[in-house]
Amino acid sequence: MMHRLFTLFLLFFLSVLLCGGLFAAKRNTLVCDWCGKKIDSNASFLKSEDKNFCSEKCFNQYAESLLPVCDVCGKRFKSGYTSDGRNFCSKTCLETTFHECVHCHRREPKGYILGNNVFLCEYCRELPACASCQMPLDKFAKDLGDGRKLCRECARDAIFTQSEAEKIMTALRQKLADKFKMGTKHPIKFDLCTRAELKKESTGDGEHELGLFIFHRNTLSFFNHTIRSKDEFRILILIGQPPDFFRGVGAHELAHDWMQENLPHIDDPQIREGFAEFVSWLYAKTEKLDRVPWRMEQNTDPVYGDGFRKVRDMMGDAKTAAEWKRILLDYYPSPAK
């Protein structure tokens, strides 16, 4: 957001006044450009640029009408502020458009929206933050011992056991099948894992990953024959995430599983990750997991963030897996077999 004091309108106002001279000329029928009354041929009148005014009152009203209107209080003003193309008569009016930081409670023009009505100013955003919700940490933070710390709220119900993780993933899988008709019959193995385990399995840097979908096609070549044994499907989810974020990550990985079956030919990482982020975002939105969607929306990563926005724009109002498949196939036709 940008704001600056401006006096442009004031200068314009003055220039209009200066140009406006008193004329006492003989004219044929002139009309006042403000009130519309006829100006007598021998009466004095005011002229400003190409406009004529029967009286100073009319001229003043005209000049006033050229002034900008405050977006907040509706008053016209001569000098004020402009921000994002909006006009404000005073600092007080401008500041009503700022958000209050949930952490320091100051009203600040710049910051981040972390979920529904949760605003964090740019100063507080720089403080050591919770690995899940990104809120500044206090002395009650929980150190997970792997470089991550959780705020008290996230630590309270974060997932630390395999049985809990499996239960959530099984329910989530059913939910996505019901909600979006998105599902496969793959025998997926769900594993809660540590950060080190996730890093080891990841093909990327693994630094910021919260989950991983692993697909293995086991084949054996035998003279001219290829023997296929059972495919392996695994989803790893990072330990120590609160349920809403955990489910967001789970939905992302399950989207990869669905894509593996339905659109395996799409190999553009931006579309693969963008689609998984889109599914996670839509799921989080429909389930009102308010702390989750902003992550995708504000992610500046060229693969995950830009990919998400690209896929979201492609999908429009489509809310079922069959529609998503049709749309993606339009953009990325399956190669002829």
- Contact set with Zn ion (CB under 5 A): 32, 34-35, 54, 58, 70, 72-73, 89, 93, 101, 103-104, 121, 124, 130, 132-133, 151, 154, 273, 276
Q: Which residues are CB-neighbours of 320 under 8 A, at least 6 positions away?
A: 180, 181, 182
Query: Shortest gap between Cβ of 28 and Zn ion (angstroms)?
Result: 17
Kindly tell me which of 192 and 214 has the beta carbon lying closer to Zn ion: 214
Query: Shortest gap between Cβ of 95 and Zn ion (angstroms)?
Result: 11
Kindly tell me which of 192 and 212 has the beta carbon lying closer to Zn ion: 212
The torsion region of residue 117 among left (phi > 0), alpha (psi -120 to 50) and beta comes to: left
Kindly tell me which of 40 and 313 has the beta carbon lying closer to Zn ion: 40
**Is beta strand 188-193 parallel, antiparallel or unpaired with respect to 232-238?**
parallel
What's the chain's Rg over C-alpha atoms? 31
Going by the DSSP 8-state scheme, the letter that residue 122 receives in this structure is: T
Query: Shortest gap between Cβ of 224 and Zn ion (angstroms)?
Result: 36
Helices (H), the chain: 8-19, 56-65, 91-95, 152-156, 162-180, 195-201, 243-262, 269-286, 293-298, 304-315, 321-331
Query: Shortest gap between Cβ of 8 and Zn ion (angstroms)?
Result: 17
Kindly tell me which of 144 and 276 has the beta carbon lying closer to Zn ion: 276
**Contact indicator for 243, 157 with CB cutoff of 8 Å:** yes
Write the CA distances from 284 to 131, 154, 164, 249, 289, integer angstroms. Answer: 18, 17, 19, 10, 5
Return the SS3 of 52: strand
Kindly tell me which of 93 and 165 has the beta carbon lying closer to Zn ion: 93
Kindly tell me which of 44 and 219 has the beta carbon lying closer to Zn ion: 44
Query: Shortest gap between Cβ of 325 and Zn ion (angstroms)?
Result: 18
Query: Shortest gap between Cβ of 329 and Zn ion (angstroms)?
Result: 20
Kindly tell me which of 148 and 325 has the beta carbon lying closer to Zn ion: 148
Query: Shortest gap between Cβ of 19 and Zn ion (angstroms)?
Result: 17
Kindly tell me which of 14 and 35 has the beta carbon lying closer to Zn ion: 35
Query: Shortest gap between Cβ of 162 and Zn ion (angstroms)?
Result: 21
**Contact indicator for 257, 234 with CB cutoff of 8 Å:** no
Q: In what order do the strands lie in the sheet with 86-88?
A: 3-6, 80-83, 86-88
Report d(CA 332, CA 223) in Å as an integer.
34
Report d(CA 9, CA 15) in Å as an integer.
10
